[in-house]
Structure 1
Amino acid sequence: MSVSSRVSDAVDRATDEVVRLSRAIHAEPETAYQEHRAAARVSGLLAAQGFVVESGVGGLDTAFTARFGDGPLTVGLCAEYDALPGIGHACGHNIIAAASVGAALALREVAAALGITVLVIGTPAEEQGGGKIQLLRAGVFDEVSMAMLVHPAPDDVSAPRPLALLDLAVRFTGRESHSALAPHLGINAADALTVAEVAIGLGRQHFEPGQLAHGIVTNGGTVPNVVPADTGAQYNLRAPDMESLGRLRDRVLACFEGAAVATGTTHEVVAEPAYAELAHDPFLVSAYRAVAADLGRHLAPVEVERTMPTGSTDMGNVSRVVPSLHPSIAIDAGGAVNHQPEFAAACVGPSADRAVVHGALALARTAVAAATDDETRQRLIDHGSSRVTGPSTVEI
C-alpha cells in the first residue's frame, strides 16, 4: 500500500475520534491561557495513541508537545484551542486542534517509512497574548523543520496574508473632583481618552495603505458626578509588515501623548508582544493547493488570494523562523465571518466536521509531499540545523 493510501486510511479510521474532539472543545470554550480542558483533551487523545506528551512546555500551563517517531525531518502541527470572550469558538480553533490531531494520527502510520518526527504543539492564547511567541522564545520550536495548521474561514485560501499586529493598552490618570461643585479642581482623564480617540480617528486619513487601528474603551470613569481620574482603552494596530507597524505605533503613541499634554493628565502604555505578518513556504503552499483541489475544495485563484482581507496571528512569528503553512479551509457559515456569533455556531455541524477531516488529510499529505521531495526535505532539515531567529516583536 502506498504512503498516500496509508495516510488516507488512517484519517478515515480517526474521523469519529477527531470530530468528537472538535465538538467537545467547541462545547466548552476557554479563553487565552485558561484552556485547561481543551489542552487535556487534545494531549490525552494523543497520549492514548502512543505519542509521548510533555505538558506545561515553555512555562505555559496550557501548552504541551506530543511526539511520535525519531526521523530527522520534524513536522510541527500546531493545535490552537482558545476561544473568544463572550462568543466562544467564533474563530473555529476547535477545528484547528482537531485537524492537527487528525494529521498527526495519519502521519504516525508512516513516520518510520518517511523518516520523520511528528510533533504536535499545543499553542494557547492565539486570540490574545501570543502563546506561540512565548513558546518560540522558550525554544519549543527549535527542532521543528516545518510548521503547519489549517484555519476555518468563509473561503478556501491556500496562502492568506495575515497582518502584523500590536496590542496597546493605554491608561490616563487625572484627579477627581465634584463635577458641579468644583469641576475646576479636577483633571479629567475621560477628556484625555476622548482627545486620543479623536486624534487617532482624524489620523486615519493619513495612515499608510494597509494600516488599521481599532480600539475599545475599557474604563470610562465611574459616575457622572465625579470628574473621572482613571480611564483606559485597548487598541489593536495592524499593518502589512512589522516595519509599517512600527511607524503606525509611533503615530498612535503620539496621539496618546498629545492627549495627556492637552488635558494635564499623565498616561502609561502597555504593549503585548507584536504578531508578525505571515510568510508562507512556497513549496508547502503549492503542495497544499494540489491536495485541497484533489479533495474537491474550491480555492480562490492565487491572484485573488493576494487581495483578500484577513486578520492577524502569532503563527506569523513562527513563520519568520520556521518554514510554515497556514491555509484557510472553508465552512458553510451562511455568510458569517470569523468573530461573529453566527460563525461560532457554524463551527460545529456537517460542514465543520468535513473541514476537520479534509484539513487533517490535506496537512498530512502536504507533509508527505515535503518529506518525499528530496530537495525540499533537505532544505527543511538544513534550515532547522542552521536557523537564525529573526525579530519577533515590535518593542515599545
Structure 2
Amino acid sequence: MDSQPGCFSGLFSFRRKRSEALLESRGQAHDTRAIALPVAGVPKVELGMSAQFAASEADLPPYAHFSSTCLYCDHRAHAPSSTHARSEKPPSYSKEDIFQPEVLKTIEDTVDKLSPELRELSLDILHHPELQWEERRTHDVLTAFMSAHDFKVTKHYAGLETAWRAEFTHTPSSAVGSQEKVRVIGVNSEMDALPGVGHACGHNLIATAGVGVALAIKTALEKHDVPGKIILLGTPAEEGGGGKINLLDAGAYEEMDACVMCHPSGAAVNTSSLGPSLACQPLEVEFFGHGAHAAWAPWEAQNALDAAFLAYSSVSVLRQQIKPSHRVHGIVSGRDWAPNIIPDYAKMRWIVRAPTWDELVALRERVKACFEAAAHATACKVTIAAGPGYYDLRQNQILGEQFAQVVDRYGFSAEFDEGMAASTDFGNVTYALPSLHPGFAIPTPPNGGNHTPQFTEAAGTPEAHTAMLGVTKALAATGFRVVADAEFTMQVKKAWEEQMKEKQL
C-alpha cells in the first residue's frame, strides 16, 4: 500500500498544557501486520423499532466508553498515561547538575567537529529523495559513511533491501573478561521521502542526527574509556510502510536497553516536544461493480464510483460524531474512467487515527461500516485491507527529563506536552522497549509545515542544521548515560515497565 500514514504532518497541534494527568488506561497491544478485514453481512433494517433508541449505558457501542468528555471541553480528555503526562517545562540545571560534564564537553566538541560532514551528508540525502522501500542510494551513502567512521556495518539488514545496521562496541582493557553485561543504546536514522515533495518531513535531518548521535557516543566511550555498545539502525519506509515494525519482528531491537531518535517540525522556534502521537492505520478499499453505457442502459450497471462517493459521504457525516482528537482522511481513484461509461471499479485509500490503539480499533470498525453500507446500497462488492498499524508514541519520562536537561543548553524549551496529531512507526518501538522521540522545531515560512514543498526547502537551511546539531548533542548525552550509568538505566526500565502496566489495567 502506498498510503503515507506516518510522519509528523501535524506536529505539536495538541500543545495545550495539562494540569491534570490520566483519564483512563489503555488496553493490550494488537498485532501490527497487514490484514484483510472481513466484510460483515449487512442486517436487514426493520421499521417501527424506535423503542431501541432508549438504550441503556450497557448497550452503548465500545467507542462510547473511551471518554465521557470532549477534548475541547475538558483538558483532561484523552490524556496519556502519567509517565508522560507532565506539561511543565523541566527545571533548569546548573553546570554541576549535568551528568559527567567532561563527557558532555566531548560530545559537544565531537558534534561541532563533525558539523561540516553532517551538513554535506544531510544535503546529499535532501537532494536525492527516495520513496519508501526504494532508499537504495541513501542506504549506500549512509553505510559507506558509517564504515568510514569505524562502525561494523551490515547492509540490507534483516532481509530488507534498504535497511542497514551499524554497530560499535568499546571494551576497556580493565573490563576484558568481565561478566558484567555491556549496556546497549539504539539509535534510528529514517531515510524515505514523500511522493512529489521530496524530504518534506525532514528525514534528511533525522538520518543525519542518528549518525551524529552514534558517532558522538562512540567518541565519548573511547575517550573516557567507558564500556558500551551502539546500534544505529537505518530504518526504511516510515511514511506508511512500517519499516520499524518489520525490524521489530526480525529482532533488531532486542539487544537494546533503550532507543532514541528525533524528528523536525514546523512548530514554534526553539521548542522541543516530548509528547505522544496518534495511533494510525491505513485502509485500502476496493469497490467492484458492473459497467454499462451511461445513457443507453444505465440500469444494467452497478456503479462502483457511486459506492465510493457514498462511502466518502458517510465518513464525512461520521466525522461529526467522532472526537476532535480522532482523524479519518482518504482519497478516491479509479481506472479507465470515462463520463459515458458507468465505472465498474473504484479504489479508496484511507487513514484512521486515534490517541490510542484501542480507540483506533473501535473507530476503524465504524469507518468500515461506512464502506459496507455503500456497497450494500449500490449492489457492489467490497474488499477492505488494513496496512501496518502504527501504535501511539509512548515517551520514556526518565530519558525525556535527561534530554530536556541538556537540550536547554542549546536554546530549546523542551516540554512534556500534548504531542502531535500525527503518527510514526517508532510508536511500536516504544511499546517494545524504553524509547525517546523528541520533536524539534526548525524555522519555516507561514503555512510551510511538514509535508509541504516549503518544509522541504526549510529542511535544507543552515538554521535547520544548527537546530539539528543541538538536538543531536542532547540525544547523544542521553544515550551515553544509558550505557554509562547503571542506576539511571534501571530507572529508565522501571519507568517503562510501569508505563506498560498502566496500559494493561
Question: TM-score range, shorter-chain basis?
Answer: over 0.9
Is the alpha carbon distance of 1:237 and 1:26 closer, same or farther for their aligned partners in structure 2, counting shifts above 3 Å?
same
Q: Is the 8 A contact 1:193 1:233 kept in 2?
A: yes
The answer to whether the aligner puts 1:332 opposite 2:456 as a matched pair is no
The answer to whether the aligner puts 1:48 opposite 2:148 as a matched pair is yes
Counterpart AA for 1:337: G
Counterpart of 2:413 in 1: which secondary structure?
coil
Match among 188, 194, 202 for residue 78 of structure 1: 188
Other-structure match for 1:66 = 166
Q: How many equivalent pairs are there?
A: 383
The answer to whether the aligner puts 1:321 opposite 2:436 as a matched pair is no
Q: Is the 8 A contact 1:168 1:269 kept in 2?
A: yes
* CA–CA separation in structure 1 for the residues paired with 2:195 and 2:274: 28
In terms of mean alpha carbon deviation, does 11-20 or 243-252 score higher? 11-20
Using structure 1 for the length normalisation, give the TM-score: 0.92
Q: Is the 8 A contact 1:18 1:356 kept in 2?
A: no
* CA–CA separation in structure 1 for the residues paired with 2:439 and 2:109: 24
Other-structure match for 1:166 = 281
Q: Shift of residue 110 of structure 1? A: 2.2
Q: Is the 8 A contact 1:221 1:231 kept in 2?
A: no
Other-structure match for 2:369 = 254
Q: Shift of residue 367 of structure 1? A: 1.4
The answer to whether the aligner puts 1:143 opposite 2:272 as a matched pair is no
Match among 89, 100, 104 for residue 214 of structure 2: 104
Q: Shift of residue 260 of structure 1? A: 0.5
Q: Shift of residue 181 of structure 1? A: 0.7
In terms of mean alpha carbon deviation, does 308-317 or 123-132 score higher? 308-317
Q: Shift of residue 74 of structure 1? A: 1.1
The answer to whether the aligner puts 1:346 opposite 2:458 as a matched pair is yes
Q: Is the 8 A contact 1:74 1:119 kept in 2?
A: yes
Q: Is the 8 A contact 1:158 1:285 kept in 2?
A: no
Counterpart of 1:351 in 2: which secondary structure?
helix
Is the alpha carbon distance of 1:269 and 1:124 closer, same or farther for their aligned partners in structure 2, counting shifts above 3 Å?
same
- Cα RMSD (Å) of the superposition? 2.0
Q: Is the 8 A contact 1:284 1:324 kept in 2?
A: yes
Q: Shift of residue 338 of structure 1? A: 0.6
Counterpart AA for 1:216: I
Q: Is the 8 A contact 2:290 2:302 kept in 1?
A: yes
Q: Is the 8 A contact 1:153 1:331 kept in 2?
A: yes
* CA–CA separation in structure 1 for the residues paired with 2:452 and 2:272: 19
Counterpart of 2:451 in 1: which secondary structure?
coil
Matches within 5 A, 1:156-235: 156-219=271-334, 222-235=337-350
Q: Is the 8 A contact 2:398 2:491 kept in 1?
A: no
Q: Is the 8 A contact 1:173 1:266 kept in 2?
A: yes
Counterpart AA for 2:217: L
Counterpart AA for 1:344: T
Q: Is the 8 A contact 1:158 1:289 kept in 2?
A: no
Q: Where does structure 1 lack aligned partners over 5 or more consecutive residues?
A: 391-396
Using structure 2 for the length normalisation, give the TM-score: 0.73
Counterpart of 2:273 in 1: which secondary structure?
coil
Q: Shift of residue 371 of structure 1? A: 3.5
Counterpart of 1:157 in 2: which secondary structure?
strand
Other-structure match for 1:394 = none
Q: Taking every aligned residue pair, what percent have the same amino acid on both sides?
A: 36
Other-structure match for 2:232 = 120
* CA–CA separation in structure 2 for the residues paired with 1:51 and 1:371: 17
Q: Is the 8 A contact 1:29 1:83 kept in 2?
A: yes
* CA–CA separation in structure 1 for the residues paired with 2:429 and 2:476: 19
Other-structure match for 2:134 = 34
| Shift >3 Å, 4+ stretches | 369-374, 378-384
Q: Is the 8 A contact 1:99 1:356 kept in 2?
A: yes
In terms of mean alpha carbon deviation, does 65-74 or 278-287 score higher? 65-74
* CA–CA separation in structure 1 for the residues paired with 2:348 and 2:212: 40
Is the alpha carbon distance of 1:197 and 1:381 closer, same or farther for their aligned partners in structure 2, counting shifts above 3 Å?
closer
Q: Shift of residue 158 of structure 1? A: 3.3
Other-structure match for 1:362 = 474
Match among 373, 386, 403 for residue 271 of structure 1: 386
* CA–CA separation in structure 2 for the residues paired with 1:380 and 1:70: 22
